[in-house]
Amino acid sequence: MNKEFILPNYDNSILNISATLASFLGCPNNYTKLKVLEDELKNNYKNVVYICFDGLGIYPINKNLDNDSILKKSICQTVLSTFPSTTTNATTSLLNIQYPLEHGWLGWSLNYPELNKNINIFRETDSWTNEKVELTTTPLGKLNYYFNNTKSDYKVTSLFPEYVDIQNEDINIIYETQNELFENIKNICNSEGKQFIYAYYPEPDKTMHKYGVTSKEAKEIITSLSNAVEKLKDETQSTLFIISADHGQIDVEGYIDLYKDEEIMNLLEIYPYLEPRATAFKVIKGKEEEFERIFNNKYSEDFVLYKTKDLINKGYFGKTGDKGYLLGDYIAIGTYTHKIFIMTPASKQHKGHHTSLTEEMEVPLILIKN
């Protein structure tokens, strides 16, 4: 590994954006606040709008937007994603203001000890077969979106695609298209009274997974988002737009079929899980030294192997929490060679990905005011 990892910092992270917004809405919390955002919120805007564009990290912005684009020129601070830098983990921290170690939604695939299965937690499917699993119990933390508990004079509205788990249907609007998302935001901002909006949009993450960060398709969708935000600014008044992402992305530069490695698989209690660039392993007791030796001999250029307890003790998953037992014995973190593990026969060969501690950790805090 030639370059050092970008380590998580839960005093300058996406979680701290939400902690600041929650405090502004009258929901006190003990998490660190971001001063630049705190100061801007003192300006008594009629509308405060937070938008999370999935995957729109610093790296995709720099690769796809000109310096004079509104999203790029309005970056006021670089903050960091959670670790792993993945949607399940990061958006849960954003919505609930909890460290990953507190909420437990740590990655796309998680080991459920009671079932002896790895589960794709957003879809509740078996990670090996992709078949639906009927869950009667879950080790994950209870979700409680911070804006459901507001005690301010702002009327709160959330905007989510239909597949997102809604905690309060009374304040939520379901949208289908990008145009519909922005039209709803405009109409709410132009209605009477103080308005707070929390909006999530699954692009450009979806497009970058399919085509890559530096593809023409990624450039088109990111440019369209920037143009839509600029148009929205022109169509509203007395509004603070706060824009960030849950994580960034990188272009994938190689694939490793880990599930086909019999030497490694024979040393595990269950096949690997969590994420393709932050991969968790439950090792058969007594086989730890053999596992470390074989793994490092084969994969040390592309992944750095850590004992999970060491990462927990160093605060990679937050300052406190009791969900570390879900992370197995070891975690392999992808390096700047930007390769991914194919962990199961059902895994996809994405052209763009994230979840590690390289460029995908860096996320913009964008402030746009009119």
Span 100-110, pLDDT tens digits: 999 999 999 99
Residues 170 and 53 reside in one and the same domain: yes
- Report the domain count for the chain: 2
Residues 96 and 157 reside in one and the same domain: yes
Question: How far is residue 264's CA from residue 299's CA, in Å, rounded to a whole number?
Answer: 11
Residues 187 and 296 reside in one and the same domain: no
Asked if residue 319 lies in contact with residue 99, where contact means CB atoms within 8 angstroms, the answer is yes
Q: Compute the mean pLDDT over every residue in the chain, rounded to the nearest whole number.
A: 96
pLDDT > 80? residue 72? yes
In a domain, 151, yes or no: yes
pLDDT > 70? residue 5? yes
CATH assignment of the domain containing 165? 3.40.720.10
Residues 94 and 190 reside in one and the same domain: yes
Section 285-304 average pLDDT:
98
Confidence class for position 149, pLDDT limits 50, 70, 90? confident
Residues 180 and 302 reside in one and the same domain: no
Least confident interval from 57-61, 116-120, 295-299, 313-317: 116-120
Question: How far is residue 155's CA from residue 47's CA, in Å, rounded to a whole number?
Answer: 9
In a domain, 7, yes or no: no
pLDDT > 90? residue 115? no
Q: Which residue has the higher pLDDT, 212 or 135?
A: 212
Residues 276 and 151 reside in one and the same domain: no
Structural domain of 262:
253-349
Residue 42 CB contacts under 8 Å (≥ 6 apart), including other chains: none
Residues 246 and 181 reside in one and the same domain: yes
Is the peptide bond preceding residue 84 cis, with omega within 30 degrees of 0?
A: yes
pLDDT at site 86 = 97
Section 131-152 average pLDDT:
87
In a domain, 4, yes or no: no
pLDDT in tens, 223-257: 999 999 999 999 999 999 999 999 999 999 999 99
pLDDT at site 306 = 98
pLDDT > 80? residue 121? yes
Compute, in degrees rounded to 10, the torsion defined by CA atoms 354, 344, 257, 247. 0
Confidence class for position 1, pLDDT limits 50, 70, 90? very low
pLDDT in tens, 52-68: 999 999 999 999 999 99
Question: How far is residue 78's CA from residue 75's CA, in Å, rounded to a whole number?
Answer: 8
Residues 321 and 196 reside in one and the same domain: no
Residues 67 and 200 reside in one and the same domain: yes
Residue 223 CB contacts under 8 Å (≥ 6 apart), including other chains: 64, 65, 69
Question: CB under 8 Å, gap of 24 or more: what pairs does 130-133 form?
Answer: 130/346
Residue for token pair 């600029």: 230
Confidence class for position 2, pLDDT limits 50, 70, 90? low
